[in-house]
Chain A
């Protein structure tokens, strides 16, 4: 396999840069679709996760932050939650760099890790800035935990883990399903796309070079 220079200085090439708008719109469209189909989960991370997987942690982080800023134009509450997108994107991106998403064991471990990261970072933002509230339906779970006498941090993190786990996993699985349908000739041009190219083609490429 040929060596590519990867890292924050090399990741923002033009092809990856133009993936950012696609990622942001994908998250928005995913969210709309999940409301149209009346799903009980919100597919609002799919763009960020997909871009972090194929274009690296930093491009993914830019996608996540921009997505929150765009939402923030109508709902300023979502601007501080850009921190959550940043953490999720960085975790996903580095796990992708370490080839965690290529086998089933890795996918399970990566899913759990990303879930913990996003639940904790979301709790940090919501407890420090909003007193443990997010302005959505999950606040009732937090309220229930608090009513049983739990501390605010434990309540918010448990709520996030309960409501976020399925969400994170489904977003991740959908992103992986979509990535496996992306043509290899596009993936090969991206800095982190190599791991998602079918093995047969990778061997062919290695034998040619």
Chain B
């Protein structure tokens, strides 16, 4: 099971994400939305990424939800004050507003964190290519994901080199600010030099050709994907119908 979910076709998982996003936007109330956190947690456990999922969730979504509660409930002026302490006034309207707002953020954020933890970007790119998306868009996406770690390591090399020739990276604020350009400048200039070579390479390999390229890592839909896609779509339509119209 741990390998089953990450190996599913990306579109299958995307259907689930899309369904949950639409349902949590349109279904009134907040119980359904908050329960998505648990659903995504169970899914993360099944895919073997529960630890990372929880830590990412706490670091981003939980903190922002907490802030929203504090600001909306205590500080924004609303009617129906149910209690007050010093300058803080607790209002039921504000509480209601923050419940609706945070519940949606929790639902959408949770399912998105899960999705990106179990789906690799190269699989998404392959799926997009199979679906006939723009080739240039896919290339830019993939090459961004490759370039970020490359540039980070290049920055570390350059930082070491600059430090060894005497650029100060510690000290007061102005000293640290001054070291910014000698650190970042060479990174940019090197990448730009490489950029021209990359253009030549791509052109010599017929990148601008309109033909569909052959995939190095083919990603194929299995029977389980078709079955699961339909199950997910039907369940989501059902939840949507029951939640919105009943």
Contact = CB atoms under 8 A, between A and B. Distances in A.
B109 A76 contact: yes
Contacts of B151: 22, 25-26, 28-29
B9 to A, nearest CB: 19
A186 B199 CA distance: 12
B1 interface: no
Interface of B: 56, 59-61, 63-64, 67-68, 70-72, 75-77, 87, 97-98, 101, 105, 108-109, 112-113, 116, 121, 136, 139-141, 143-148, 150-152, 155, 159, 169, 173, 176-177, 179-181, 183-185, 187-189, 191-192, 195-196, 198-199, 202-203, 207-208
B75 A76 contact: no
17 contacts: A18-B202, A22-B147, A24-B144, A25-B191, A30-B184, A34-B180, A37-B169, A66-B141, A66-B144, A74-B113, A77-B60, A130-B101, A132-B72, A146-B76, A174-B184, A177-B185, A182-B192
Contact of B59 (A29, A32, A40, A75): A75
Contacts of B187: 26, 29
Given A19-B195, A24-B144, A178-B188, A33 B75 contact: no
B196 A186 contact: yes
Contacts of A184: none
B193 to A, nearest CB: 8
Nearest to A38: B176
A131 B141 contact: no
Contacts of B203: 14
A135 interface: yes
A18 B199 contact: yes
Contacts of A183: 189
The 3 A-B pairs at the shortest CB distance, nearest first, are namely: A135-B64, A146-B75, A25-B151
A30 B109 CA distance: 26
Contacts of B76: 131-132, 146, 152
A76 B140 contact: no
A43 interface: yes
Contacts of A188: none
Contacts of B176: 37-39
A38 B63 CA distance: 22
Given A38-B176, A66-B141, A32 B152 contact: yes
A94 interface: no
Contact size range, A: 35 or more
A205 to B, nearest CB: 19
Contacts of B71: 131-133, 139, 142-143, 146
B75 A143 contact: yes
B240 to A, nearest CB: 22
Contact of A14 (B141, B148, B199): B199
A106 interface: no
Interface string A40-72: 100100100010000000000010001000101
Nearest to B94: A131
A37 B116 CA distance: 30
Contacts of A186: 192, 195-196
A136 to B, nearest CB: 9
Contacts of A34: 180
Contacts of A29: 148, 151-152, 155, 184, 187
Nearest to B52: A74
A75 B98 CA distance: 20
B16 to A, nearest CB: 15
A131 B72 contact: yes
Contact of A133 (B67, B113, B177, B208): B67
A133 B112 contact: no
Contacts of A135: 60, 63-64, 67
A191 to B, nearest CB: 15
Contact of A28 (B148, B179, B208): B148
